[in-house]
């Protein structure tokens, strides 16, 4: 295979909502390039890009897949990404290592929620975007309607550079506004026959060409001057204007194709080769020190590993981008993250699950893969000697669906942990947490289907039977008024005994409150003489402040740390529900000790019981985590979604429109979000999406608190 220079490489993320036809388009591209003799289908489970068992089982893309095409003297690396929003992590990774995106829009349905979600991701990461309206041959496809939707959603920067002579079942010809020629296809697609534009659409071609030239000229001052003088641009000048518009994201070209019928594929590849930016055209990638790393083929070798997979009959495959330098097979490199050395024994170009072609070298900007590395993980940087770059530029979205997971056979808990960590390596949006607080293994992901896929892989690939259960909620406990208590711990059972007595006052901690002075309980007044103050930030949020107000040597100073430990024991396991406590201020003001029997354990137990008693008298409350939830949905589902939110104790915060869809912002308790992904999909027919982010801890309603206390007492009785 030819070794492509950096300026001859195009890296493109292939995007599109679920069902938009990306996998079929990838098959058409590979067939068009001669990489395969026969196109596979999703139904038959024999496609190049969806080759993992779980993808064949579900009939959906689950993982991103690297493949390449050669067109017009350029190498185009595509990363075919899943369309479901549950697998957005693959999209985020792909966009970060490519230089542009090609997003398919289903010609039958136009701008869908999946389209909007992926557009927002592209927009957030800031990548140039090209659009292709797919399924031009389908019964319901209307090119003009879809184009109008795109322009209404994303503005006048959406500009057609092609249009069909006829869309729908009669689709067989495309008018190309760059060449001002008509590309005609036979019933089996393939290479086009190029002719003059049919008279029936000639006027429309001239009208759209004039708009294209004006929009292209706006991206370059010299081109604009020429256009204003002559009202004309050459094909090369038009392409240059589009390239510049793509780079500053002021121009989104629209093409039309049929992946199913393999029509328009040849011309689409030529256009991508002409207008998509190469790694040379975009800004360099920052390393962790803020240095911009340019894709210089003559620079030091630096590789970023963006993906690892375990593939059938191969084992671990590591995918990388050459950030700098020219990589040659047999090169020894340093792993900057793990402090180890690696030899890149072979360099492979990749076309999905096809036989990987070994090449001798790969230049800066290219994407490739290698196998049998000793100690490389996703996100690692491998460098030549003397090169210090380290990369960490990919930010993944927060999870929005959680389940607790456990093996059916408890003896396999350690094996499950190993498998889960490996799965996280393959998809970093599968998050794994061994929760000390909840005493559960929590797996988090982007949706119910995302976690169902994880379970399928564990059970079918790893032969380990597991179950999901609802995770416990990380409640918090706090107090709302001051209270006093004392406790004497006394134990005598032969020999030395145990004795410790602690008197303390608790009250809510509020930042900025004055230091404690005087308290009054009943007819008794308590004056605080502060000798020492400890401010302890809680790992789980909030604050504990402890004042030593003991006078007259009632308790020796050496026992104060033990008293603090006793209080912390109850902060870690609150008296109401066993949840963490927070935002409490404690004054230790009196007590007693014994010259022989007092010891640390005595005062720890006395403090624990005194704190627990005072806490219960201080009008204690349970707090629950509340999340900011943002929902994107079609307008006809608004009523059902709002009604559902009310049933989840949701509070509506804002409503607005965004690119043709409705947007709801609400605050919802985490307890009510357990099944929200599934419910929202059911209400909207899968046309909505949501994101969630922790907002705050808020008081639970009185009836909910009563139920929580009852459940906790029952669980303690069961344990006894």
Give the count of beta carbons closer than 10 Å to the beta carbon of residue 398.
13
Tokens for 21, please give them: 């036809």
Distance, CA of 424 to CA of 418 (rounded, Å):
10
Whether 496 contacts 602, CB under 8 Å: no
Instruction: Quote the CA–CA distance of 46 and 40 in Å, as a whole number.
Output: 5
The stretches in the chain having pLDDT less than 50 are none
At the topology level, CATH places domain 477-619 in: Ribosomal Protein S5; domain 2 (3.30.230)
What integer pLDDT is reported at residue 426 of this predicted model? 87
Q: Residue 200 has what DSSP assignment? A: G
Alpha-carbon distance 139 to 106, whole Å? 12
**Are the C-beta atoms of 216 and 223 separated by less than 8 Å?**
yes
Taking alpha carbons only, the member of 687, 642, 683 closest to residue 660 is 687
- State the pLDDT at residue 497: 87
CATH T-level topology, domain 404-472: Alpha-Beta Plaits (3.30.70)
CA distance 92 to 193: 38
Common-topology check for domains 404-472 and 622-703? yes
Strand partners, 623: 476, 699
Give the pLDDT score at 287.
95
3-state helix, strand, coil in the chain (%, to 5): 30, 35, 35
Residue 393 is given by DSSP the state: -
CB contact set of 488 (below 8 Å; sequence gap of 6+): 499, 500, 501, 592, 606
If DSSP codes are grouped into helix, strand and coil, which group holds residue 125?
helix
CATH label, 7-197+250-281, candidates 3.50.50.100, 3.40.50.300, 3.30.428.10, 3.40.50.150: 3.40.50.300
> Helices 221-230 and 235-247, interaxial angle, to 10°?
140
Q: How far apart are CA 95 and CA 344, in angstroms?
A: 25
Question: What whole-number distance in Å separates Cα of residue 471 and Cα of residue 321?
Answer: 38
In DSSP terms, 621 is beta-bridged to 478
The answer to whether the beta carbons of residues 118 and 16 sit under 8 Å apart is: yes
The pLDDT, as a whole number, for residue 719 is 63
In whole angstroms, what is the distance from residue 576 CA to residue 378 CA?
A: 43
264: which DSSP letter?
S
Predicted local distance difference test score (pLDDT) of residue 702: 93
Report how far residue 477's alpha carbon sits from residue 541's, in angstroms, rounded to the nearest whole number.
11
Classify domain 622-703 by CATH architecture: 2-Layer Sandwich (3.30)
Backbone angles phi, psi at 669, to 5 degrees: -60, 145
| CATH no., domain 301-383 | 2.40.30.10
- In 343-388, which residue ranges form alpha helices assigned H by DSSP? none
Domain ranges of the chain: 7-197+250-281, 301-383, 404-472, 477-619, 622-703
Are the C-beta atoms of 379 and 392 separated by less than 8 Å? Answer: yes
Class of residue 143 by CB neighbours under 10 A (exposed 0-12, middle 13-18, buried 19+) = buried
What's the rounded Cα separation, in Å, for the pair 468 and 451?
Answer: 9
Q: What is the 3-state secondary structure (H, E, C) of 520-562?
A: EECCEEEECCCCEEEEEECCCCCEEEEEECCCCCCCCHHHHHH
- Rounded to the nearest angstrom, the gap between the alpha carbon of residue 381 and the centroid of all alpha carbons in its chain is 21
Residue 228, judged by CB atoms within 10 A of its CB (0-12, 13-18, 19+), counts as exposed
Structure-token match 């942990």, residue found: 417
Distances in Å between the alpha carbon of 31 and those of 36, 187, 255, 296, 451? 5, 15, 19, 33, 34
Burial of 390 (0-12, 13-18, 19+ CB in 10 A): middle
The greatest distance separating any two alpha carbons of the chain, rounded to the nearest whole angstrom, comes to 111
| Token pair belonging to 322 | 């050459």
pLDDT of residue 326: 97
Give the pLDDT confidence score for residue 720 in this predicted structure.
54
- Would you say 58 and 76 are in contact if contact means Cβ atoms under 8 Å apart? no
């Amino acid at each position: 295979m030819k070794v492509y220079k950096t300026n001859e490489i195009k890296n493109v993320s292939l995007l599109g909502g679920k069902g938009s036809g990306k996998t079929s388009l990838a098959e058409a591209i590979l067939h068009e390039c001669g990489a395969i003799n026969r196109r596979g289908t999703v139904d038959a489970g024999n496609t190049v890009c969806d080759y993992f068992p779980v993808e064949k089982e579900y009939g959906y893309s689950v993982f991103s897949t690297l493949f390449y095409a050669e067109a017009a003297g350029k190498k185009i690396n595509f990363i075919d990404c899943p369309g479901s929003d549950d697998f957005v992590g693959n999209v985020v990774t792909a966009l970060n290592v490519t230089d542009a995106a090609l997003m398919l829009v289903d010609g039958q349905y136009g701008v869908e929620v999946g389209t909007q979600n992926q557009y927002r991701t592209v927009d957030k990461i800031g990548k140039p975007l090209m659009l292709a309206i797919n399924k031009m041959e389908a019964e319901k496809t209307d090119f003009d309607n879809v184009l109008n939707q795109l322009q209404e959603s994303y503005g006048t920067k959406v500009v057609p550079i092609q249009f069909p002579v006829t869309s729908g079942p009669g689709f067989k010809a495309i008018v190309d506004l760059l060449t001002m020629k008509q590309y005609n296809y036979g019933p089996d697609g393939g290479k086009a026959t190029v002719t003059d534009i049919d008279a029936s659409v000639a006027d429309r071609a001239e009208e759209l060409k004039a708009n294209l030239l004006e929009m292209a000229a706006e991206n370059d001052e010299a081109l604009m001057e020429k256009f204003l003088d002559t009202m004309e641009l050459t094909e090369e000048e038009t392409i240059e204007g589009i390239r510049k518009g793509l780079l500053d994201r002021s121009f989104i070209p629209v093409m039309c194709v049929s992946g199913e019928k393999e029509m328009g594929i040849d011309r689409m590849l030529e256009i991508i080769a002409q207008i998509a930016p190469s790694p040379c055209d975009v800004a360099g990638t920052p390393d962790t020190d803020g240095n911009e790393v340019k894709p210089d083929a003559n620079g030091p070798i630096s590789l970023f590993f963006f993906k690892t997979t375990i593939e059938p009959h191969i084992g671990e495959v590591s995918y990388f981008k050459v950030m700098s330098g020219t990589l040659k097979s047999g090169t020894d490199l340093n792993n900057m993250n793990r402090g180890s050395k690696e030899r890149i024994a072979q360099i492979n170009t990749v076309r999905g699950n096809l036989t990987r072609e070994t090449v001798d070298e790969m230049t800066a900007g290219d994407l490739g893969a290698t196998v049998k590395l000793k100690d490389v993980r996703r996100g690692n940087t491998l460098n030549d000697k003397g090169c210090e770059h380290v990369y960490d530029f990919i930010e993944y979205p927060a999870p929005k669906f959680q389940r607790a997971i456990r093996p059916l056979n408890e003896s396999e808990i350690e094996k499950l942990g190993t498998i889960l960590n490996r799965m996280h390596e393959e998809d970093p949006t599968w998050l794994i947490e061994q929760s000390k607080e909840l005493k559960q293994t929590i797996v988090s992901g982007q949706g119910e289907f995302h976690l169902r896929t994880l379970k399928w892989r564990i059970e079918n690939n790893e032969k380990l039977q597991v179950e999901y259960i609802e995770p416990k909620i990380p409640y918090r406990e706090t107090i709302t008024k001051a209270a006093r208590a004392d406790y004497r711990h006394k134990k005598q059972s032969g020999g030395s005994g145990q004795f410790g007595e602690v008197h303390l006052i608790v009250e809510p901690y509020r930042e900025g409150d004055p230091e404690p002075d005087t308290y009054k309980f009943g007819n008794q007044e308590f004056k605080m003489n502060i000798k020492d103050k400890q401010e302890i930030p809680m790992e789980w949020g909030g604050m504990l402040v402890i004042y030593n107000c003991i006078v007259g040597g009632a308790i020796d100073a050496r026992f104060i740390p033990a008293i603090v430990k006793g209080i912390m024991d109850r902060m870690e396991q609150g008296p109401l529900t066993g949840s963490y406590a927070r935002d409490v201020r404690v004054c230790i003001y009196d007590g007693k000790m014994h010259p022989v029997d007092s010891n640390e354990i005595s005062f720890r137990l006395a403090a624990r019981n005194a704190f627990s008693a005072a806490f219960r008298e201080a009008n204690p409350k349970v707090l629950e985590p509340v999340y900011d939830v943002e929902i994107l949905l079609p307008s006809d589902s608004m009523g059902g979604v709002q009604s559902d939110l009310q049933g989840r104790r949701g509070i509506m915060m804002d409503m607005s429109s965004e690119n043709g869809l409705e947007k709801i912002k609400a605050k919802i308790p985490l307890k009510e979000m357990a099944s929200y992904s599934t419910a929202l999909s059911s209400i909207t027919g899968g046309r909505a999406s949501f994101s969630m982010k922790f907002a705050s801890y808020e008081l639970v309603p009185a009836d909910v608190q009563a139920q929580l206390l009852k459940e906790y007492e029952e669980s303690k009785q069961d344990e006894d």
